[in-house]
Structure 1
Amino acid sequence: MVTIAYLGPPGTFSEAAVRRLSPAPDEAVPTRSIPEALDAVRDGAVGAALVPLENSLEGSVPVTLDNLLGGPGLRVVGEVALPVTFALAGRGPLESVRTVASHPHALAQCRGFLRAKLPSASTVEVLSTAAAAQAVLDGTVDAAVCAPIAATALGIPLLAENIGDRPDTATRFVLVVPADTPPPAPTGNDVTSLAVYIAHDRVGALLSVLTELAVRGVNLTRIESRPTGERLGRYVFLLDCAGHVADSRMGEALLGLRRVCAEVRFLGSYPRDTDDPPVAAPAGLTDDDLHAAEDWLRGLRGGA
């Protein structure tokens, strides 16, 4: 059993994501922020942290990306894709609501409802949806955009349910552990996350990165840039690639990236949390094909 830190307080979507993990954690520890959850892993206070990485509507969570890259080594060993359903909780009636609190991503995902139903209400950004519900209980705001579980736990009436602009919204969380933890065994439907630093004074540097993946049949499922903080125009590229570091074609791709990039950071290989089947390797690029080619070359070198 592992103690897992998450963005608290209790009642957040992060806690719901923790409860989705199997086996269940021995203890789930709420923290005040995402950096605090990750620092608890670095300090050895907890065995792991589950933090939001991206939302299907709002995109990435920059504070998570920057903290994964900016501090001492951490490794991703799992993910949870959690459907997200928002409710408006408060001391009604709805017409009396003048202030609405929530996490910035939650407010952004409910713009349509807030604009249509509460056009005169002002919004207040807080650290989590559960903190917004607590603010209602404390009397500092009139209503909160939060998970229904948070309102129920605090005994706050629901003024409206399913208020998100998109009914199929989901948030992807990643399970982060110390960097010396070995990757979980490959499942056949995995993702490898990388941070790639290119030589900015080299023409076609990013194209070289993509080519190393494409010629080996590695499917790139996500690419995003983040500033390195060095100066304007300096970026690191975050890649999610279908496959596992133990796969032959992924291993060859990593060797190629290591040769053409200024730096490659391995963030982790882990199972995808999806019912979608993996994308099949192109003909000639399966692990069996690569092993057969290696055997053939060994034979040539050995004089066979």
Structure 2
Amino acid sequence: MKTIKNKIYTLPKGTYSERATKKFLTYLNGNFEIKYCNSIYDVFENVDNSGFGVVPIENSIEGSVSLTQDLLLQFREVNIVGELAMDIHHNLIGYDKNKIETIVSHPQALAQCREYIKKHGWSVKAVESTSEAVKLVAESSNEKLGAIGSKDSAKQFGLKILEENIEDYKNNKTRFILIGKSALSFKTCPNRYKVSIVFELKEDKPGALYHILKEFAERKINLTRIESRPSKKRLGTYIFYIDFEDPGKNLKETLESLKEQTTFIYVLGRYPVLL
């Protein structure tokens, strides 16, 4: 009898997202087949049809991945079903460091190595993923191009690692989320859960956000992240993303308390935080 495999979508081979996907799989029951996509949007679009996906959502240096935040709101049936954090160490990849004039990589990787790039006076070019950057350098055979990427991508495309750990800050971590339309079964019962929500304030007036935060403070619920994003309706209007530690049986009551002060509130997921 043929084993049915769930599809799990992620960014191309050699990316940090692929490594995060493989780490997620060590926690999950069941059989999964990794499918590679060219962009974060492609991951969401595939998951919206079937399967699961892994995408980055926040970096300890550069902050949130804005596209992931926006797509969580756009693809309303796709929820966060798991989270893990990984150390990220960038590498300079190419042919000859002394001949490089332009560095190619994902915008987040370029930003995380900003001082290093500036010190060498290189220009930059952004692409969809770190793996695509390494592939571009490999296929061009251009010694004036260098890429920032993982050791896996250098090995995959047969290029040299010219320098390791070139990120500007050494405590560089990225949070990755597992997304899907249904829950998953884990090999062991996770002992920590978080909840993510997004909402828009009903009134733009002094103290409006305070009254939202007060509901959490009075219930002694620990917030782990709060961030605003443009509402895309008009200049100066925002939506808010909040992550908080799961309050258990008080979750429903907490969400109900926020409804009177918001035009909408969506739960993006209640999910385990994996080590």
Following superposition of structure 1 onto structure 2, how do residues 207-246 of structure 1 map, counting pairs within 5 Å?
Answer: 207-243=210-246
User: Which residue of structure 2 aligns with residue 130 of structure 1?
Assistant: 131
Deviation at 1:259, TM superposition (A): 3.1
Q: Aligned partners of 1:201, 1:83: CA distance in 2, in Å? A: 39
**Cα 1:248/1:111, change in 2 over 3 Å:** same
| Matched-pair contact (CA < 8 Å) for 2:6–2:32 | yes
Which of residues 96, 99, 102 is equivalent to 1:99? 102
Deviation at 1:23, TM superposition (A): 2.8
Deviation at 1:250, TM superposition (A): 2.5
Cα-to-partner distance string for 1:51-93 (whole Å, 9 max, x where unaligned): 110100000011111111123421111012111011111011x
Larger radius of gyration: 1
User: Which residue of structure 1 aligns with residue 48 of structure 2?
Assistant: 42
The alignment's C-alpha RMSD in Å is 1.9
Q: Aligned partners of 1:183, 1:255: CA distance in 2, in Å? A: 26
Q: Which has the higher strand share?
A: 2
Following superposition of structure 1 onto structure 2, how do residues 133-212 of structure 1 map, counting pairs within 5 Å?
Answer: 133-139=134-140, 142-178=145-181, 181-182=182-183, 187-212=190-215
Q: Which has the higher contact order (CA 8 A, sep 6+)?
A: 2
Runs of 4+ in structure 1 deviating by more than 6 angstroms, as ranges, are 183-186
Q: Aligned partners of 2:200, 2:109: CA distance in 1, in Å? A: 32
Q: Aligned partners of 1:187, 1:132: CA distance in 2, in Å? A: 36
Q: Is 1:28 matched with 2:34?
A: yes
Q: Aligned partners of 2:240, 2:11: CA distance in 1, in Å? A: 25
Deviation at 1:188, TM superposition (A): 4.2
Deviation at 1:97, TM superposition (A): 0.8
Cα-to-partner distance string for 1:162-200 (whole Å, 9 max, x where unaligned): 11111120110111102xx25879844211000021113
| Matched-pair contact (CA < 8 Å) for 1:198–1:205 | yes
The gaps in structure 2 that reach 5 residues or longer are none
Tell me, what secondary structure is at the counterpart of 1:272?
strand
The gaps in structure 1 that reach 5 residues or longer are 275-304
Following superposition of structure 1 onto structure 2, how do residues 224-303 of structure 1 map, counting pairs within 5 Å?
Answer: 224-243=227-246, 247-274=248-275
Tell me, what secondary structure is at the counterpart of 1:164?
coil
| Matched-pair contact (CA < 8 Å) for 2:15–2:150 | yes
| Matched-pair contact (CA < 8 Å) for 1:102–1:128 | yes
Percent identity (aligned): 34
| Matched-pair contact (CA < 8 Å) for 1:11–1:130 | yes
Which of residues 65, 75, 78 is equivalent to 1:74? 78
Q: Is 1:63 matched with 2:63?
A: no
Q: Aligned partners of 1:219, 1:260: CA distance in 2, in Å? A: 20
| Matched-pair contact (CA < 8 Å) for 2:44–2:75 | no
| Matched-pair contact (CA < 8 Å) for 2:11–2:36 | yes
Q: Is 1:14 matched with 2:17?
A: yes
Tell me, what secondary structure is at the counterpart of 2:260?
helix
**Cα 1:268/1:143, change in 2 over 3 Å:** same
